[in-house]
């Protein structure tokens, strides 16, 4: 039986999960659920590699994962099998065969995240799990000005929730686009990689700029401080989506 490296494009609602990464204290993770299904498919323990470790409550429009599977099934048959047994809040959009050396995380050159904020006092019922209901008006022009200071290659230690960071905290943020439609403000963040909670802290900091609690120019001081306490609050997980992984 041939062993194939299969790449999956995944979509999921992270509301009821403890994040992407499999953990010893819980079986309720996206990676864990996918490994269970693939292990049933092959009859041996499957190992799934994801492009990014989304936190508890974070959603994905375009997560990428791969697994080496011993099976004679075609990619279409694998896709159909996976979707038959995955829960309804996880969907495999594609399954294709890639080279043996392909690794979802190690071969990625960047990611795109979306963060959604509702300025209305109450969000629509069917949106409330997928948006941060702020209930206050934001100055999106000021937020866009602040985003310029945060774009580029910087040490983003101030935007990392991890206390003990041993690896480099230098990252390149290529774009932070602020858009508004009706009462919904959307942040689109594209970069070569992101630290723990980085996008949510960027969102929280930009929200504080939008509320007039910080100036756009103060972003420079936050970056220079290299202290988590210098940046804004960590915006709730429910507003965040991993939109795309770049290769």
**Residues that are catalytic:** 55
128, 105, 122: which is closest to 192 by C-alpha? 105
- C-alpha of 176 from chain center: 15
95 in Cβ contact with 39 (< 8 Å): no
């Amino acid at each position: 039986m041939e062993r194939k490296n299969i790449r999956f494009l995944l979509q999921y609602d992270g509301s009821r999960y403890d994040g992407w990464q499999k953990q010893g204290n819980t079986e309720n993770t996206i990676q864990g659920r996918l490994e269970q299904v693939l292990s049933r498919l092959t009859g041996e323990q499957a190992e799934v590699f994801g492009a990014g470790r989304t936190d508890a409550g974070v959603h994905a429009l375009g997560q990428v994962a791969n697994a080496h599977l011993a099976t004679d099934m075609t990619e279409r048959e694998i896709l159909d099998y996976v979707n038959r047994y995955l829960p309804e809040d996880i969907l495999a959009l594609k399954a294709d065969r890639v080279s043996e050396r392909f690794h979802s995380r190690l071969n990625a050159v960047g990611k795109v995240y979306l963060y959604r904020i509702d300025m209305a006092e109450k969000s629509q019922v069917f949106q409330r799990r997928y948006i941060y209901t702020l209930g206050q008006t934001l100055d999106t022009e000021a937020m866009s000005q602040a985003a310029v200071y945060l774009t580029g290659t910087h040490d983003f230690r101030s935007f990392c929730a991890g206390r003990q960071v041993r690896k480099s905290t230098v990252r390149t943020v290529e774009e932070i686009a602020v858009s508004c439609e009706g009462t919904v403000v959307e942040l689109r963040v594209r970069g070569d990689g992101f630290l723990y909670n980085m996008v949510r802290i960027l969102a929280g900091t930009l929200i504080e700029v939008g509320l007039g609690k910080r100036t756009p120019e103060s972003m420079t001081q936050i970056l220079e401080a290299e202290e988590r306490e210098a940046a804004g609050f960590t915006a709730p997980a429910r507003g965040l989506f991993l939109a795309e992984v770049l290769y």
